[in-house]
Amino acid sequence: MTIAGLRIGYAVGMFELQPAARPGKEPFLEFLCGSGIALFDGAMGTMLYERGAFIHRSFEELNRSDPGLVRRIHEAYVIAGADIIETNTFGANRFRLSPYGLESAVNELNISGVRLAREAASDRAWVAGAMGPLGIRIEPFGHISREEARAVFQQQAAALAEGGVDLFVLETFQHLPEVLEAIAAVRAVSSAPIIAQMRVDDGGVTTEGVDVVQMLSALSSAGANAAGVNCSEALAALDAISEMHEIGGMPLCGQPNAGNARSVAGRNLHLGSPEYLVAWGRRAVRSGARLIGGCCGTRPEHIQALRSAIGAVVPPSANARIVRTTTHTPPAPPVPLRKKSLIAAALSRGQRVTGVGLPPTRGHSTDTTAANARELALAGVDFVTLPEGSGARAYAPPVSIAPLCRSAGVVPLVMYTCRGRPLPRIQSDLLGASLLGVEDLLVVTGSPLSTVAEQGPLPDLEIDSIGAVNLVSRLNTGEDVGGNPIGSPTAFHLGIHIDPTAYDIERELSRLRWKIDAGAEFAITAPVFDVTALRQLLSHIDQDRLPIIATIWPIRTAQEAEFFEERLASVSVPAPLVERMRAAEARGDEEAEGLRISIELAAEIFPLVQGLQVTAPSGRIDLALAVLESLRSQDSGSAL
């Protein structure tokens, strides 16, 4: 076939092309200081997949098991006219290699990746050490610390530097703090130039809402020598590059995907033609890009077509750049704790509160929930907890039930589960909850949506409760996940879940400390049957800083006592209580005995904490009210 006047054929799966006569390359940093245009290669993953590499294997491992295949792909891009060849090391960091049992092969795979690219490039192209994201979220929305992330990046960067790369390319990042850690890691081991690229969506902003002004400023301050976008839709990338050029300050790079992915016979294919990428490349250079190439779906024919086209495109003069800055109106100060809600005010005064945990609302009829809320309000209950439903049944979301409870005269405590929701969706949901008047919020990670065997290739958990606490805290200061102002700050009274009988109590305490540091303002326990375990947990908590609301669950049958641990993960019922329920089963008064146990537990626990929540099993609010009524003679009860 003929593309842009060049004839392209195939032989052994590669191109029969004559390489352009290009002199040896000057140091890459010298090139960046000039005004020329350089051409990247295309997609390595696309080419490997098309040549039989199984999609669920480590492509980086091919550097040692099939080096000839990797080298031939590099050679095809050099022949097509690429000035910069990226090593096959995008995912060669410890975290991404670990699922394949390759975490000990970081040095080997990165050094061999540089060697293969160097053999193909010779003196015809620069070799760029490719580094991608860790594949796992870092703080504040993940459980990997920035220090640990930097150490993992530094291990890979050191191996690439040892291999002898001319420059580093950090690409396809979506979380700005993560790429900043990657830059710092490279700078700790090498003085080679760094090109830092992020993925952007429509409007030229990242998936977390970071705009190009923030992006370019942060990347420049961190020590990148050039910046840009990759793995993005072409128009989104073009918008970002144009806006970056207006800001000015450093050379720009763009590597979009070859069209949007389309499903063809069960495969996701990028069907953008070489002409499509050429049209984009011409506009990108006119918009200020000096480094261009392609990402997913880009093949050697795309690069050769670009090679023939960009020579006729005149880049804009650097003098034409307009340095632009943006200023954000400072958000209003955060809402003080005591003004966030009635519950927050009571807890901040040191008063005890009582509540009832209702079951999820089935379907869209709220008659039963409304009646229960009204009865609980009349009984003097301070709050009701509205959990999310799980499983295949249809449940109304708690946020939709909250106004009903509020109108009935009882404070709604809305539970929000992270499972099955991406970060932008969580942010949107929480802003919607604020608009609907939700004040008291309990964020939890949530149980897996299905068994491990049933789960698909994508995880159902993008951020857990620690990340959600960080997100809510950011919204409470008037900023979104990208640090952009949202206007008035939200005023969520932020609660978390803790389990006194967790199997790994040290991990539970560690996660608790992370949540407190992130901004948690109160905590609700899992059902408590073991008071000793609760006391041990409380010994690690300053309730002046984090008030604790303990949960009581009235058990109704001996069978429930025996299998409670199976029902609620790590929550077990101590053997003496199980024996009491078995004896009650023999007598025929299980429910009464279960209620007596709950009343005894409530009496012992209530003085230790700042609140008590009694679950209404299967909607049995009479059992919950019986437990709370038993406390009236011992304490003034309600604070509200």
> Of the ranges 228-242, 261-275, 321-335, 433-447, which one carries the lowest mean pLDDT score?
261-275
Domain 337-631 CATH class label: alpha beta
3-state helix, strand, coil in the chain (%, to 5): 45, 15, 40
**Residue 70 and residue 65: Cα distance in Å, rounded?**
10
- Return the ∠ at Cα 517 (arms to 511 and 518), rounded to 5°: 90
Q: Mean pLDDT throughout 247-275? A: 68
Residue 6 — very low, low, confident or very high, per pLDDT cuts 50/70/90? very low
> Of the ranges 6-15, 60-69, 76-85, which one carries the lowest mean pLDDT score?
6-15
- What pLDDT was estimated at residue 24? 57
Please provide the size of the chain in residues. Answer: 640
Sign of the dihedral defined by the CA atoms of residues 27, 30, 36, 39, in that order: positive
Distance (Å) of CA 422 to CA 154, 417, 615: 28, 11, 30
Residue 325 — very low, low, confident or very high, per pLDDT cuts 50/70/90? very low
Per-chain mean pLDDT for the chain: 86
For residues 273-285, one letter each, b for 16 or more C-beta atoms within 10 angstroms of the residue's C-beta and e for the rest, the string is ebebbbebbbbbb
> In sequence order, which residues have a C-beta less than 8 Å from that of residue 124 and are 6 or more positions away?
19, 22, 25, 78
Residue 471 and residue 430 in contact, taking contact as beta carbons nearer than 8 Å: yes
Residue 22 — very low, low, confident or very high, per pLDDT cuts 50/70/90? very low
Task: Reply yes or no on domain 2-320 having CATH 3.20.20.330.
Answer: yes
Domain ranges (residues) in the chain:
2-320, 337-631
- What pLDDT was estimated at residue 611? 96
**3: pLDDT strictly greater than 70:** no
Q: What is the pTM of this model?
A: 0.77
Q: Which residue has the higher pLDDT, 472 or 503?
A: 472
**Residue 162 and residue 139: Cα distance in Å, rounded?**
29
Residue 604 and residue 531 in contact, taking contact as beta carbons nearer than 8 Å: yes
Helix (H) or strand (E) holding 532: helix 531-538
Beta-ladder partners of 387: none
Q: Which residue has the higher pLDDT, 271 or 145?
A: 145
Tokens 């050191």 -> residue = 158
**Residue 568 and residue 405: Cα distance in Å, rounded?**
26
- Helix and strand numbers (H, E) in the chain are 23, 22
**Residue 581 and residue 596: Cα distance in Å, rounded?**
11
The widest CA-to-CA distance across the chain, in whole angstroms, is: 95
> Of the ranges 68-72, 106-110, 498-502, 634-638, which one carries the lowest mean pLDDT score?
634-638
Residue 305 and residue 298 in contact, taking contact as beta carbons nearer than 8 Å: no
| Rg of the chain over all Cα atoms, to the nearest angstrom | 30
Q: Mean pLDDT throughout 271-285? A: 82
> Of the ranges 10-19, 78-87, 161-170, 176-185, which one carries the lowest mean pLDDT score?
10-19
**266: pLDDT strictly greater than 70:** no
Which has the closest alpha carbon to 445: 496, 411, 483?
Answer: 496
**Per-residue pLDDT reduced to its tens digit, 387-426:** 998 766 788 999 999 999 999 999 999 999 998 898 889 9
For residues 560-573, one letter each, b for 16 or more C-beta atoms within 10 angstroms of the residue's C-beta and e for the rest, the string is bbeebeeeeeebbb
> In sequence order, which residues have a C-beta less than 8 Å from that of residue 451 and are 6 or more positions away?
none
- What pLDDT was estimated at residue 17? 37
Same fold, 2-320 and 337-631: yes
**Residue 454 and residue 449: Cα distance in Å, rounded?**
9
